[in-house]
């Protein structure tokens, strides 16, 4: 029996920040005149946008021709001219928060807080207010950083905050899966990859529609190798997930994190070495892994003891290792011959100095002694005595009973003679 409110993901994670739901204003139906006016405006916008696009295309072509002429005239490459003019583009994986955007965000929150939809300040109005206020032009370094921190906090909330209700969570799931589908199919066109993605709801009360994505004929893999249709896999996956009934904190308990970290470590090690049957050896890591397969762990979290995840006893330690493996901060690095030789020399030097490198196997109690082999029994040996005089191990009572039953079991003869009675009847 579940305790507390389990109606939504946000309710099942009460300590997690919640993304505020947007209230859309109710709109009255447009009249025929308003609909016609709207259509005319849209047509004008489309025409205006097309003219602008055509003008931009002409400008870009003229600019490219002019840059090429400058490059030819001065005997340099087109790229060098573009770099000098500042046209070189630098791509970043994530847009960093800019001061202007941070100020607009904070001012928008200040002006529109508590205002009903339809009565809020527009972006243009907010920017005009900021431009007319001289205080924003004389901000100290601490104030600028405070504005940027507020924007980063808001972005983090939008990225990982819990959706306020089931409807917004379902819409978010649909939008994300749509983007994933487009990216995977585009990657298929660029690199010829196959991909399968499964997404299911995590609770019976959620309204997320379970679905799957498969590029090309990737779904046939599940039917040919697993003897399961993807619909059946998704159904079983959803049944398993709903039976878990775990919020985000319960999903990351110590046992679960240990399994995740161990699986990630194993998977990355096997990909780095190409050995799919390889297992990680933490006790003899340098000798059994690094020297044998020529790879080493790079980026192990600082301050974390080098232990197997199952030997770490705090959630913080295991989560730190798991996150480092997920992000790639901790990864397997291929070593060259020089690095391997240096490591081999270092291990030998430490061993000569008396340091125990790795774990030494415990010796047998009879190590160094000659162990006699048992000779096979001869025909003259009794049931309880072997050929060399040693006693044969006794059989259990059950074994003796089974043997007696086999011996006493009646067997049928091949031919049955006629009885006297049958002869007399003839």
| pLDDT tens digit sequence for 205-252 | 899 988 999 999 999 999 999 899 999 999 999 999 888 888 777 777
Contacts of 394 by beta carbon, 8 Å cutoff, 6+ apart: 384
Beta bridge partners of 331: 298
DSSP state letter for 290: I
Q: Are residues 234 and 174 in the same domain?
A: yes
- Residue 416: pLDDT above 90? no
pLDDT at 294: 92
* Single residue among 352, 367, 400 that ends a domain in this structure: 352
Domain range spanning residue 180?
164-245
Place of tokens 């060098």: 80
Cβ atoms within 10 A of the Cβ of 342, count?
12
Burial of 169 (0-12, 13-18, 19+ CB in 10 A): buried
Computed over its alpha carbons, how large is the radius of gyration of the chain? 38
> The domain that contains 316 carries what CATH number?
3.90.1460
Region 33-53: mean pLDDT is 89
Q: Per-residue confidence at 138, pLDDT binned at 50, 70, 90? A: confident
Question: Based on the domain organization, do 206 and 289 belong to the same domain?
Answer: no
Half-sphere exposure at residue 198, Cβ-oriented, CA atoms within 13 angstroms: 16
* Domain presence at residue 200: yes
Chain position carrying tokens 């109005």: 125
Say if residue 252 is exposed, middle or buried (CB neighbours under 10 Å; 0-12, 13-18, 19+): middle
If asked whether residues 168 and 150 sit together in one domain, one would say no
Does a structural domain hold residue 340? yes
Inform me whether the pLDDT recorded for 421 exceeds 50: no
Last residue of a domain, one of 161, 190, 207: 161
Beta-ladder partners of 295: 334
- Rounded CA separation 273/294 (Å): 8
- How far is residue 26 from each of residues 31, 42, 116, 233, measured CA to CA in Å? 16, 22, 12, 41
Between CA 58 and CA 56 the distance in angstroms is 5
Residue 400's pLDDT band (cuts 50, 70, 90):
low
């Amino acid at each position: 029996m579940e305790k507390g409110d389990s109606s939504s993901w946000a309710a099942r994670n009460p300590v997690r920040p919640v993304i505020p739901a947007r209230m859309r204003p109710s709109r009255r139906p447009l009249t025929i005149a308003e609909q016609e006016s709207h259509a005319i405006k849209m047509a004008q916008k489309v025409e205006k946008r097309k003219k602008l696009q055509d003008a931009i295309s002409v400008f870009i072509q003229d600019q490219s021709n002019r840059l090429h002429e400058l490059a030819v005239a001065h005997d340099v490459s087109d790229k060098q001219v573009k770099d000098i003019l500042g046209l070189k583009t630098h791509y970043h994986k994530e847009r960093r928060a800019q001061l202007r955007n941070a100020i607009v965000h904070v001012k928008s929150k200040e002006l529109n807080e508590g205002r009903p939809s339809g009565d809020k300040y527009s972006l243009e109005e907010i920017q005009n207010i900021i431009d007319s206020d001289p205080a924003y032009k004389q901000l100290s370094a601490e104030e600028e950083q405070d504005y940027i921190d507020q924007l980063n906090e808001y972005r983090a909330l939008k990225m990982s905050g819990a959706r306020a209700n089931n409807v917004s969570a379902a819409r978010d799931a649909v939008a994300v899966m749509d983007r994933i589908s487009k990216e995977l199919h585009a990657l298929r066109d660029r690199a010829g990859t196959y991909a399968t993605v499964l997404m299911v709801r995590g609770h019976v009360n959620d309204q997320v529609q379970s679905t799957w994505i498969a590029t090309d004929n990737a779904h046939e893999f599940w039917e040919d190798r697993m003897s399961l249709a993807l619909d059946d896999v998704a159904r079983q996956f959803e049944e398993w997930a709903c039976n878990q009934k775990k919020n985000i904190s319960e999903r990351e308990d110590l046992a679960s994190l240990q399994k995740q970290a161990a699986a990630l470590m194993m998977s990355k090690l096997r990909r780095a070495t190409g050995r799919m049957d390889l297992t990680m050896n933490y006790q003899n890591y340098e000798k059994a892994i690094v020297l044998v397969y020529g790879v080493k762990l790079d980026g192990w979290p600082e301050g974390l003891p080098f232990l197997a995840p199952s030997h770490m006893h705090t959630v913080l330690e295991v989560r730190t290792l798991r996150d480092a493996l997920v992000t790639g901060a901790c990864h397997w690095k291929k070593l060259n011959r020089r690095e391997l030789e240096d490591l081999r020399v270092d291990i030998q030097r430490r061993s000569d100095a008396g340091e125990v490198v790795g774990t030494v196997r415990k010796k047998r109690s009879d190590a160094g002694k000659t162990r006699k082999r048992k000779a096979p029994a001869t025909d003259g040996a009794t049931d309880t005595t072997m050929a060399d005089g040693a006693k044969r191990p006794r059989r259990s009572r059950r074994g003796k009973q089974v043997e007696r039953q086999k011996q006493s079991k009646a067997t049928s003869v091949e031919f049955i003679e006629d009885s006297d009675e049958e002869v007399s009847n003839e």
